[in-house]
Structure 1
Amino acid sequence: MLSAYSKTLAAANAVSYRLPWGTIRGLCWGNPGQVAVVCTHGWLDNAHSFLPVAEHWDTRQGALIALDFAGHGLSDHRPAGNHYHFIDYAYDLWLIIQQQDWQNLTLVGHSMGGFAANIVASLCSDRLKHLILIEAFGLVVSDGEDAHQQLLDGFQSRRKLSCGRWRDYSELASAVDARLKTADFSKELVEMLLQRGCYRNAKGRWQWRADPQVKSTSPYRLPAATVDQVLAKIDVPVTLLRGEAGYSKLANAVERWQHCIEQLNINTLPGGHHLHMESPQAIATLLANICRAE
């Protein structure tokens, strides 16, 4: 497993950032003191989703960091009694940027990571050089007509998952097959994600690292009108990368909110929702051009 990316992984340095509730971990290619790019993954993925991009990264352009969100990959799970509200992913990312005093940063976010990056870019555009969104634009919203059901579903989901456990597997290949059933990418890329996303438990069986509670339904979502306000505060160039076979609902989000971003460029690349793993060289080239630009 991971033979295609073993050299890339070996070239990475492990990084960690202590926050009030626990530790966020990730991988860094280059000098962690000279960060140029920070990448955030999608729901139930981890930092390994950016290994293909890192394979094409030239560290002379600065360091590229891929983070694990809370409850994902090697990052800590949130303490008992806490939950995984979307806005807290954004807060953790915002806090790390403040804590590390990163400047002139290119922020890259895929899917859920892209939604979090939208929020962060709105709050600290002065620290950013560019925002790259991969298969994500705007936010998942609620206009209030289903508020009662949203709250009920969210509360019931939290209660159900408070003692939830993942199924485990006698063979890692079985975990790969299970993830492959919901993947829109190759078995090789699934194996790449699972090397960081699984571990062998005390019984010698393979188990997911992610906190089962990350699956809980959000009891509250921002109304669409507030998203207009948030996006309008993004004061850096934004590049949206869409997959040729990506999420069809993305088109609706673009139509709804593209007027909020003054400096918006939209590119379509080969691949599906995880196009950063399927067209990594094109994304690495884009990042290199951004980093070289004055």
Structure 2
Amino acid sequence: MLNVNVAEIQLPLAHITLAAKRYGDASKPMILALHGWLDNADSFIPLAQAFADQGLFDTFQLMCIDWPGHGLSDHRPGRYPLHWVDYIYDLQAVIHAIAQDTGPIILLGHSLGGIVASAYNACLAENIHKLILIEALAPLSESSSQAKDRLRKGLLQQQRFNRQLARPAPTYSSMDVAVQARHQLTGLALPWCALITKRNMALTDGQYHWRSDPRLKLDSLNRFTFDQVDALMTTSDTPSLLIIGHDGYKQLTASTDQANKWFTHIEIVHLSGDHHLHMGNAQQVAESIGAFILNSR
């Protein structure tokens, strides 16, 4: 049981309404947490518990948003393909909506959330006090020679997807069946699948179905080249923390030299755990974050 105030809130932005959870006192400096692809705000529950155990809510509040199409947030209108850069616009709108009440924001992102956070920081670092990246570093990149093939495959995939929308959406007789489906798809440990799945599901006429926007599973139509990512990321003076799981994405371990080139003040911490180590190893992750954010605030 969390010994801290938890509030479900709505953020009515100009273009969409997002759901969020706030932990702690709304008057304290904010840690704004951005979840990963197909996750939601509840993926930060273990970390919030660890923050409470370590007394971090004496000094900070934690706000965890649901990205559009995830959790309890609205879906983007229409049926057009989704683009990862749109999340940067969402983040800018969220920060504008809350910044006047919170002061300097510490931005925390996991996976997709970390990619968005690092790209936003690269462009508007003046809005960010400190940056925390968990299993993420920068936007993904690929060779320019793959641009035509990626766009062609994406458009054909979209055609097939539009036909699938005419079919009944899958339903589940129990939440456990949906949790198992998530586990089989991602390999994420069952307790964490249960946390995330519950917020991503709805119950209608005794049957569970996904609330998540089905377009989230479509491939991106384009991706930056490395030269574009390098130009975007060079160079940030924001005090930053990069947390990498020993069993997480291997390319992150190989990217530490690049991280030191892109960030002039970065701490890199390797901890036991997989890509979701902020859930499975929340205490050590919270300890690393606490040491980082309490040092020379």
Secondary structure of residue in 1 paired with 2:145 = coil
Which string of whole-angstrom CA distances, capped at 9 and with x for unpartnered residues, describes residues 97-130 of structure 1? 1232254221111111110011111122122222
CA distance in 2, matches of 1:264, 1:46: 27
Are 1:197 and 1:208, in contact at CA under 8 Å, matched by a contact in 2? yes
- Bigger mean CA offset, 115-124 vs 229-238: 229-238
Task: Find 1:181's aligned residue among 167, 172, 184.
Answer: 184
Are 2:40 and 2:71, in contact at CA under 8 Å, matched by a contact in 1? yes
Are 2:235 and 2:261, in contact at CA under 8 Å, matched by a contact in 1? no
Query: CA 1:17–1:140 in structure 2 vs 1: closer, same or farther (change >3 Å)?
Result: same
Which string of whole-angstrom CA distances, capped at 9 and with x for unpartnered residues, describes residues 10-50 of structure 1? 84101222223211111000233434201111110001110
Which string of whole-angstrom CA distances, capped at 9 and with x for unpartnered residues, describes residues 148-186 of structure 1? 111111222233334536522111111111111134442
State TM-score, norm by structure 1: 0.90
**How far does residue 197 in structure 1 lie from its aligned partner after superposition?**
1.3
Identity %: 29
**How far does residue 292 in structure 1 lie from its aligned partner after superposition?**
2.7
- Bigger mean CA offset, 100-109 vs 143-152: 100-109
Q: Letter of the aligned partner of 1:182 in structure 2?
A: L
- The aligned residue for residue 282 of structure 1 is 284
Are 2:136 and 2:252, in contact at CA under 8 Å, matched by a contact in 1? yes
**How far does residue 9 in structure 1 lie from its aligned partner after superposition?**
9.7
- The aligned residue for residue 242 of structure 2 is 240
Structure 2 unmatched ranges of 5 or more: none
- The aligned residue for residue 63 of structure 2 is 65
Q: Letter of the aligned partner of 1:48 in structure 2?
A: D
- The aligned residue for residue 190 of structure 1 is 193
- The aligned residue for residue 54 of structure 1 is 48
Q: Letter of the aligned partner of 2:197 in structure 1?
A: L
- The aligned residue for residue 129 of structure 1 is 129
Are 1:107 and 1:130, in contact at CA under 8 Å, matched by a contact in 2? yes
Are 1:104 and 1:127, in contact at CA under 8 Å, matched by a contact in 2? yes
Are 1:8 and 1:51, in contact at CA under 8 Å, matched by a contact in 2? no
Secondary structure of residue in 2 paired with 1:240 = strand
CA distance in 1, matches of 2:21, 2:236: 27
- The aligned residue for residue 271 of structure 1 is 273
Are 2:157 and 2:218, in contact at CA under 8 Å, matched by a contact in 1? yes
**How far does residue 285 in structure 1 lie from its aligned partner after superposition?**
2.4
State TM-score, norm by structure 2: 0.89
CA distance in 2, matches of 1:254, 1:145: 26
Secondary structure of residue in 2 paired with 1:213 = helix
CA distance in 1, matches of 2:243, 2:226: 22
CA distance in 1, matches of 2:267, 2:159: 42
- The aligned residue for residue 215 of structure 2 is 213
Across the aligned residues of Structure 1 and Structure 2, the Cα RMSD in angstroms comes to 2.0
Q: Does 1:167 align with 2:170?
A: yes
CA distance in 2, matches of 1:117, 1:166: 33
CA distance in 1, matches of 2:241, 2:293: 14
Query: CA 1:35–1:215 in structure 2 vs 1: closer, same or farther (change >3 Å)?
Result: farther
Are 1:141 and 1:221, in contact at CA under 8 Å, matched by a contact in 2? yes
CA distance in 2, matches of 1:157, 1:234: 37
Q: Letter of the aligned partner of 2:250 in structure 1?
A: S
- Bigger mean CA offset, 97-106 vs 249-258: 249-258
- The aligned residue for residue 15 of structure 2 is 21
**How far does residue 71 in structure 1 lie from its aligned partner after superposition?**
0.4
Q: Does 1:76 align with 2:62?
A: no
Structure 1 unmatched ranges of 5 or more: 1-6
Secondary structure of residue in 1 paired with 2:132 = strand
Q: Does 1:38 align with 2:32?
A: yes
CA distance in 2, matches of 1:234, 1:266: 15
CA distance in 2, matches of 1:211, 1:9: 33
Query: CA 1:252–1:286 in structure 2 vs 1: closer, same or farther (change >3 Å)?
Result: closer
Secondary structure of residue in 1 paired with 2:250 = coil
